[in-house]
Amino acid sequence: MNIFLLLCVILLAGFEAEALSYDHSASIECLAHPQKPQYNGGIIKNPELNDGLQGWTAFGNARIEHRESLGNKYVVANNRNQPHDSVAQKIYLQNGLHYSLSAWIQVSEANVLVTAMVKTTEGFKFGGAIYAEPNCWSMLKGGLTADATEVAELYFESNNTSVEIWIDNISLQPFTKKQWTSHQEQNIEKTRKKNVVVQALDEQGRPLPNARISITMKRYGFPFGSAMNKYILSNTAYHYWFASRFTVTAFENEMKWYTNEYTQGKDNYFEADVMLRYAKKHGIAVRGHNIFWEDPQYQPSWVPSLSADQLNNAVEKRINSVVSRYKDQLIGWDVINENLHSSFFESKLGQNFTSRMFNEVHNVDGNTTLFMNDYNTIEDSRDGLSTPPKYIQKIREIQSWNKQLPLGIGLESHFPNFPPNLPYMRASLDILAATGLPIWITELDVASQPNQAGYLEQVLREAHSHPGIRGIVMWTAWSPQGCFRMCLTDNNFKNLPTGDVVDKLIYEWGRKILSGTTDKNGFLKASLFHGDYKMEISHSAKKNYTFTHQLQVLSKDKSKKTTQFIQISI
């Protein structure tokens, strides 16, 4: 074992030096042939099953077989009487490392949930899950972080014991935390920033060396913000604190049905209207949250007693009221809230309720992105109701009605009180990004516990660095009675540790002032976050007169150029 440990240390040192890139690719289609294993299988032995069953053993009381079809070799677990009866491989985990997991799965019949699990000395870790099908291969992608250095077992299970589980092209790739951070930094440079080249010229158009240039961001290009509520309307300190930081918001309760129509037939939009005016005044974009909420306990008090026909009429009135009122004023609508966990409307008005509502909202407000919005898709892998495959199933159901709908993926991201599973979070985002739809973090917070601020920083960094994420809204609206789960300030608007994290990241993501001096050819090169900037240029030959120039650094979505070039005469 000591020789084995020494070998692992040597391998890890070399592996660290290579700074292995992370593979964001994911397939959400069921394919006739599985794709090659990511990272050539990582630490998995015989990942493509080309060497028979070498490295693989039965788990539980399953019988395993090595099979070949159309030149492809794989392992099959059959004769299964318990969910865990399957196929397994012993793996060596190292404490603190992040592990990216992937495999290709097929089942003998039906559409069946298959889960990757890791058995450790302390219990079981969830690795990922996929709804597998017969006659084609589906990609399972997930991940985990090791809590100890030990020998563990990776296996695949399903509650449906009547099916065979077919497994191929498995991969388990370790990354150090340093490498994980490096991936984030690489993504930020590629996705959130752009190279900018400024050339200073004199009146005759000649390069001006030794010109001093400072660059100050005035507004972020990446939408980052927090929810807010009616208390912002009467609190000047809250006004200033909020507007000086954030570029996007959602209203905590003021656009919800139970607020807008507390009494049937009497609409109330006063608070929402004033909050929207405040947001517009300060250049803060607003997400519409929400039109309908599937959870029975969050309906207007008069709604549950309605007959099906009365409920349908109330639903139509709700759409025509709130969507028409705020048409073309919002950057997104949360059309159906938490419909993977609850089904109040679907149970009363039919399974097509969700698809019908998305179409009707689009017919009223055709230019606004329409979101599902749910929790535990990326934050807590123990919840099987809203996994990425479940989310995508519901999206496809909506698209089956109208493939042209401008859909978006809303991820609430209410993280629990234990360390975030960053590999699972990243893999889940990879899967969702494979849909090609914009992904927003819509209600991010972390449960209260001693390391709340530290966990918040981890998930904010992970979300901001992922290329599929288009914006982040935290669920941190302040009220005198306290926040939902996480506050950023105290009642005097002095930052709490969580607020310090937010300010640190805002500074890091572009608010710090950059300065430098042009070279002999008048050039200054910088890598800048997308956003609006003020440039100040001065030179001793100009008696240190300061020339000001406005600069907008566009994302690649709006400008295909990888480098932005600016010439300025002073």
Q: Which residues are marked as active site?
A: 443
Nearest C-alpha neighbor of 530 from the set 169, 222, 140: 222
Other beta carbons less than 10 A from residue 501's beta carbon: 21
Q: What is the DSSP letter of 85?
A: -
Q: Please give the single-letter amino acid code of residue 76.
A: V
- Alpha-helical regions (H) of 305-414: 308-318, 324-325, 344-349, 353-364, 388-399
Burial of 269 per CB tally in 10 Å (0-12, 13-18, 19+): middle
Please give the C-alpha separations between residue 223 and each of 25, 142, 204, 226, 353, in angstroms, as whole numbers.
Answer: 24, 27, 41, 10, 31
Query: In terms of C-beta distances under 8 Å and separation of at least 24 residues, what long-range contacts does 5-8 make, across chains too?
Result: 8/92, 8/94
| Distance in angstroms (rounded) separating the CA atoms of residues 327 and 355 | 20
Q: Please give the single-letter amino acid code of residue 219.
A: R
Q: Please give the single-letter amino acid code of residue 355.
A: S
Which two three-digit tokens encode residue 448? 């209260």
Contacts of 529 by beta carbon, 8 Å cutoff, 6+ apart:
192, 193, 217, 220, 221, 222, 509, 510, 553
